[in-house]
A and B are shown apart, each in its own frame.
Chain A
Amino acid sequence: GAVVSQHPSRVICKSGTSVKIECRSLDFQATTMFWYRQFPKKSLMLMATSNEGSKATYEQGVEKDKFLINHASLTLSTLTVTSAHPEDSSFYICSAPGPNREQYFGPGTRLTVT
């Protein structure tokens, strides 16, 4: 089946720095991709929709200047957490829609901000 990959799988960064997370659809093209964050023992929360060739659409309450999204190609979307703070530490997951109305999720990226 379709596969979505993420890189890196886990990252540790210092407060105030920026970190980029990549999401790739490996054997299919995706004009839209989605970014979620998940805190421990909580459900996934949709952050934004990444649109190839246009600006991302952010969910209410998500700071677009802090979470920069770039949909560089039909198989790649990136999420950059800018000026990271410890409260940004979370599990970030991306997804892409498949051909049969299903959604394929990446394995997630564990971000720890020290």
Chain B
Amino acid sequence: DAKTTQPPSMDCAEGRAANLPCNHSTISGNEYVYWYRQIHSQGPQYIIHGLKNNETNEMASLIITEDRKSSTLILPHATLRDTAVYYCIVRPVYTGNQFYFGTGTSLTVIP
């Protein structure tokens, strides 16, 4: 079962930062936070993941609160191609590799 809550939709102006929140208040100490996105009619694309420290890669930054009960995915300079559904997923480190998807946030980048 998905253990995350995300707003169903968000808009962001092109060129601005997109900040996508995720609530995972029941996260356990051995669970990672993952972010994926899905562009229409394609398979999900990996973005980033973290355990408790903030993470950054070429696509995005992941900010995890100190109590780990929520996180924010930041796309620093949103483009039209970032329009997609963004999924926040928590998954245990050691018990299997299954991913259970929640409802995600549909991000629309506006020109």
Could you tell me which A residues sit within 8 Å of B by CB distance? 4, 6, 32, 34, 36, 43-46, 49, 91, 93, 95, 97, 101-108, 110
Point out the residues of chain B lying under 8 angstroms from A97, CB to CB.
97
17 contacts between A and B (CB under 8 A): A34-B97, A43-B2, A43-B103, A44-B44, A44-B101, A46-B101, A93-B43, A93-B44, A95-B44, A97-B97, A101-B32, A101-B93, A102-B46, A103-B46, A103-B99, A105-B46, A107-B43
Chain B: residues with CB nearer than 8 A to chain A?
A: 2, 32, 34, 36, 38, 41-46, 49, 87, 93, 96-104
User: In the docked arrangement, what's the CA distance between A104 and B46, Å?
Assistant: 7
Complex: how many Å from CA A28 to CA B2? 28
Complex interface: chain A residues within 8 A of B102 (CB): 43
Q: Are B42 and A107 in contact (CB under 8 A)?
A: yes
Output the least CB separation between B106 and chain A (Å): 9
